[in-house]
Structure 1
Amino acid sequence: MLDLDSLPGDDLAVNLADTVLLATSPSIDLLDDGHARFWSAQASRLPAGARPPSAEQTRRLRSAVREVLEAAVAAREPEAWAVERVNAAAAAVPASPRLTARGVDMIWHGEDGGEIALAAVAVATIDLVSGPRAERLRRCGAHDCSMLFVAANSRRVWCTPSLCGNRVRVARHAKKGLES
């Protein structure tokens, strides 16, 4: 089973969406015991000034992000409430590009570090579903996994080859052994 330390990708939006394990009954919320750890693990993907928002704010945005990403995977329109929530979070903190000696940095103009973090997730969500990586957004091919991921290549079907991929291969091998 995946946990906060083994989220499958480097995409901020996908990582937030994957903090709830939906393939279990009942679902498991990885933020219950790991809210601060999640934001700490995402620090390198967050803009300067970002701080962890409240767990309630995080979960509220996560539900919208998950709906938007699931809709993209299913090639359907996302629910209006989810689009509105993602857009509101993205618009809550203005950002502007700033030219530096290294290239361009995005400067986020906000007083509330939690809002900056949420805005960064919302913008990452919008960028993912509206950009070229949208066609590589997938749900894990393992029947007992609900994780989403952005595939590096067209052949990738599991969120993590070392976890879900290995479990599927082991099960397939065991089934072949029983059949022979």
Structure 2
Amino acid sequence: MSELGPLTGEPLALDLVNTRTASGDLLTTPEDLRAWLRLQAGRISLPGELTEADVAAVRRVREHVARALDRVRRGTGPPADDLAALNRAQRAAPAITELSWDGQAVTAARRRVSGSAGERLAAWLAEAAAELLADPAVALVRECEADDCVMVFLPAHPRRRWCSAARCGNRVRVARHYRRHKPPA
């Protein structure tokens, strides 16, 4: 992971796309993937032991999401191959709503009970992508306006310009201040 770590807090599919940064890929090893999943606690669970093949499966889903997202947010149709790949990833580990009794009430939890750890993880991420791509809000997804940033985000406020005010926003403001107050050469 980079020294700043990945951005989190966007829809899960955007958080996944944002693991591919201007400074490199944040998901290169099983440990990188585990670390990112820990940051996503509450939204997706650690599927057990992860392998290099699992990392590759997640990265493939990420590439399909990124290509489809880039087209859909601009109002054009996504590549059919990318949609088909995301559908295949979901079918590899179907989800069920598992019912249980907690002593007072019936509870329902979505679970993926078949497939390898990587297939289950890729299926969850492909499902998150399907939800995002089908949501009309996908048209609002923006790229960070910082020159050296490739992150995407779903703005909660229409004037939001950066993926993170603390990261890119501060850097842009400091650079702008420096240019305005730079002593003459």
Q: Give per-residue Cα distances to partners, 1:151-174, cap 9 Å, x unaligned.
A: 222121111110001111112222
Contact 2:95 2:112 in 1 (8 A): yes
State which drifts further: 113-122 or 8-17. 8-17
Match of 2:122 in 1: 118
Paired with 2:175 and 2:44, the residues of 1 have a C-alpha distance of 38
Match of 1:35 in 2: 33
Paired with 1:88 and 1:105, the residues of 2 have a C-alpha distance of 22
- 1:1-180 residue pairs with structure 2 within 5 A? 5-21=5-21, 23=22, 28-32=24-28, 34-46=32-44, 50-51=47-48, 52=50, 54-97=54-97, 101=105, 104-178=108-182
Partner-residue secondary structure (3-state), 1:145:
coil
Paired with 2:151 and 2:72, the residues of 1 have a C-alpha distance of 14
Contact 2:6 2:36 in 1 (8 A): no
Structure 1 pair 3–30 and aligned structure 2 pair: CA distance change class (3 A): farther
How far has the Cα of 1:147 moved from its partner? 0.6
Structure with the larger RCO, 1 or 2 (CA within 8 Å, 6+ apart)? 1
State which drifts further: 87-96 or 163-172. 87-96
Structure 2 unmatched runs, 5+:
none
How far has the Cα of 1:4 moved from its partner? 7.0
% identity of equivalent residues = 33
Q: Give per-residue Cα distances to partners, 1:121-154, cap 9 Å, x unaligned.
A: 0011110121143133221111211011122221
Output the TM-score relative to the length of structure 2: 0.79
Structure 1 pair 82–76 and aligned structure 2 pair: CA distance change class (3 A): same
Paired with 1:135 and 1:119, the residues of 2 have a C-alpha distance of 24
Partner-residue secondary structure (3-state), 1:105:
strand
Contact 2:6 2:18 in 1 (8 A): no
Q: Give per-residue Cα distances to partners, 1:59-111, cap 9 Å, x unaligned.
A: 21111111122223332222222111111112222223456748753232324
Structure 1 unmatched runs, 5+:
none
Identify the structure with the greater helix proportion: 1
Q: Give per-residue Cα distances to partners, 1:13-50, cap 9 Å, x unaligned.
A: 111111112x45xxx11112523322332342115x73
Paired with 1:4 and 1:80, the residues of 2 have a C-alpha distance of 35
How many residues are paired up? 175
